[in-house]
Amino acid sequence: MTSTTTNPPPPLTHILETCIYVRDVEASVKFYQEALGIAPFIESPRVTGFSLGPTTLLLFELGKTGTDVITPTGTIPLHGPTARVLASLQHSGANEDGTGEPQSLKQHFCLAVQTPEEVEQWEEHLRGKDVKVLSTMGWERGGRSVYFEDLDGHVVEIASRGVWPHY
């Protein structure tokens, strides 16, 4: 890719949106509301959004983002799984290896807290809500993580400072 400009663009500051694809947006909204104690700022049959500080968690219902959304001010391009992947994810039977487990994208995202003690409090909270906690991790820089699974098998992490050099 070549550029004709001599000045670089301004630096990026953070990820504004993270999106995951869910089979049942209403059930997933309820899961995230109860598990994380967050409320949506936008809800529709296609997408629900949760504000998390300067970032947004979007839950898109599988199969409802496959066409462009044309508005008076611009177009939101289609996105999400291709038709073949979507068909596999929406199939209710056994997956291709015969395990009987539903197909899953197993998308991953991480939510931030300040201290390892806060991660431990979240782990206790999640277990109290009967959320499937997958594992915990202590990091070399002193950070701590707890990983849990949502209704669609996505792997969600809550991590403290000390996970990355920049956090």
Q: Tell me: do 84 and 126 sit in the same domain.
A: no
The token pair that represents 21 in the structure block: 């694809």
Q: Decide which of 72, 103, 134 is a domain's last residue.
A: 103
Q: Tell me: do 99 and 29 sit in the same domain.
A: yes
Q: Decide which of 64, 84, 103 is a domain's last residue.
A: 103
Query: Given a cut of 80, is residue 1 above it in pLDDT?
Result: no
Q: Is 158 exposed, middle or buried (0-12, 13-18, 19+ CB in 10 A)?
A: buried
Q: Is 4 exposed, middle or buried (0-12, 13-18, 19+ CB in 10 A)?
A: exposed
- Residue 4 counted as domain residue: no
Range of the domain at 44: 13-103
pLDDT score of 83: 86
pLDDT (tens digit per residue) in 54-113: 999 999 999 999 999 999 999 999 999 888 888 888 775 445 556 667 788 899 999 999
pLDDT (tens digit per residue) in 33-69: 999 999 999 999 889 999 999 999 999 999 999 999 9
What does the alpha-carbon distance between residue 108 and residue 63 come to, in Å, rounded to a whole number?
20
Residues 103-131 have a mean pLDDT of 96
CATH code: domain of residue 123: 3.10.180.10
Task: Give how far Cα 5 sits from Cα of 32, 123, 149, Å.
Answer: 44, 49, 45
Q: Tell me: do 75 and 27 sit in the same domain.
A: yes
Q: Decide which of 60, 86, 103 is a domain's last residue.
A: 103
The token pair that represents 138 in the structure block: 């202590």
Count the domains in the chain: 2
pLDDT score of 142: 98
> In terms of pLDDT, which residue wins out, 1 or 29?
29
pLDDT score of 146: 98
Q: Comparing C-alpha atoms, which of 67, 61, 65 is closest to residue 45?
A: 61
Using H for helix, E for strand and C for coil, what is the string for 80-140? CCCHHHHHHHHCCCCCCCCCCCCCCCCCEEEEECCCHHHHHHHHHHHHHCCCEEEEEEECC
CATH code: domain of residue 45: 3.30.720.120
pLDDT score of 99: 65
pLDDT score of 19: 96
pLDDT score of 94: 46
